[in-house]
Amino acid sequence: MIPKKTERLAAHKRRFHRKGLSMNIRLNNLQSSIVGRAGTRFDVVLGFDMATDIEAYTSTYEGIRAGTPKLIGLLRAENVRATFFWTGHAAASNPEMVRRVREAGHETGCHGLFHENLGDAVYPLANSHPVLPSEVEGRVAEATRAVKRIAGLKPVSFRAPRLWGGTHLVNALEKLGYVSDASLPLYAHRSQLVPYHPASKDWTRKGGMRIVEIPNFCDLAMKSVDPCQRDRDPWPIYRTKSARALLDKVDSFGIHVESLKLRPVLCFRFHPWEFHKMPGEVAYGDARVRPAPFVVKNCGDRALEQFAALIKGLKERGARFATAQDAAADY
């Protein structure tokens, strides 16, 4: 017999899905992704972190060169806009791809200069200490200039590498004219469920800053067995398991946020290298990089197939797809 609590949650999930599906049919599939909030149930921000391959543990850009065109084609077919967060080095190394992304109608954001850690460490990582607070503004300013030189416009949306954001970072971003920061990992800081204006002395709390912080959603219902709570992070379950598995977490999150009388905003992070087959090991002189199996599992065609299924499922549930800049404008 299913426990009553589990049975109720399953019933809520079915209602959440059915409501979105029927609404989507009535609206004839929302012909444009750039729509107002009327007639939609929640917002989705698709963010792509544009850096070197395999979580920046390599020096190559095969993912950007081979994976990005696939993403552009799929997003065009689905009539969905996204935000591409470029490191300064990635933009300078792939200028033609930067222009292709922009010409396809997507937002050009910034992701730091060299994928360096600009904020508070969220989990242990060998020999990868965050830069000094006094360095943050200068590095972000240089990264902003680098992306602007290639894209032809100044980025106004930011995402910190590894989601290691922080108070010093949001203050630097505000000073540099950014309007949105999609760096907060909800799995580590569960104080804010929807976008908010952060406090200048504590970026995890509401305050009076102009910039809008967009939390990256997570699984709040599961029992975590990770001291750092990283198992709540939904990345990259869409390809290691399936789009359906990720959509179950979307449903659970939506139910919880709606129960608080708030409009859900689901901010996702992906990488272009996930859509191009990645090696299980990379040799560098006297060392080898061997990522954990889940990091590169099912990269390539399987990832693209499941990403398409994810977009379809989000549409069925009544999603409004927005860039980070557009989502921030609602707050």
121-148 pLDDT tens trace: 878 777 777 888 999 999 999 999 999 9
Strand-pair category, 202-206 with 157-158: unpaired
Return d(Cα 74, Cα 15) in angstroms, integer: 29
Return d(Cα 218, Cα 47) in angstroms, integer: 15
Summarize the confidence of residues 12-37 as an average pLDDT: 42
CATH fold label, 39-329: TIM Barrel (3.20.20)
Percent of the chain at pLDDT above 90?
Answer: 76
pLDDT at 151 over 50: yes
Return d(Cα 300, Cα 272) in angstroms, integer: 10
SS (H, E, C) the chain: CCCHHHHHHHHHHHHHHHHHHHHHHHCCCCCCCCCCCCCCCEEEEEEEEECCHHHHCCCCCHHHHHHHHHHHHHHHHHCCCCEEEECHHHHHHCHHHHHHHHHCCCEEEECCCCCCCCCCCCCCCCCCCCCCHHHHHHHHHHHHHHHHHHHCCCCCEECCHHHCCCHHHHHHHHHCCCCEECCCECCCCCCCCCCECEECCEEEEECCCCCEECCECCCCCCCCCCCCCHHHCCCCHHHHCCHHHHHHHHHHHHHHHHHCCCCCEEEEEECHHHHCCCCCCEEECCEEECCCHHHHCCCCHHHHHHHHHHHHHHHHCCEEECCHHHHHHCC
CA 217 to chain centre: 9
Return d(Cα 235, Cα 297) in angstroms, integer: 12
Summarize the confidence of residues 64-93 as an average pLDDT: 98
Mean pLDDT score across all residues of the chain: 89
Residue 3 has a pLDDT of 40
Residue 35 has a pLDDT of 41
Summarize the confidence of residues 43-59 as an average pLDDT: 94
Percent of the chain at pLDDT above 70?
Answer: 89
189-240 pLDDT tens trace: 988 999 999 999 999 999 999 999 999 999 999 999 999 999 999 999 999 9
All structural domains of the chain with their residue ranges: 39-329
The HSE-up count of residue 324 (CA atoms within 13 Å, CB side) is 31
pLDDT at 293 over 70: yes
* Confidence band of 288 (pLDDT split at 50, 70, 90): confident
Residue 13 has a pLDDT of 52
Task: Answer whether 195's CB lies under 8 Å from 215's CB.
Answer: yes
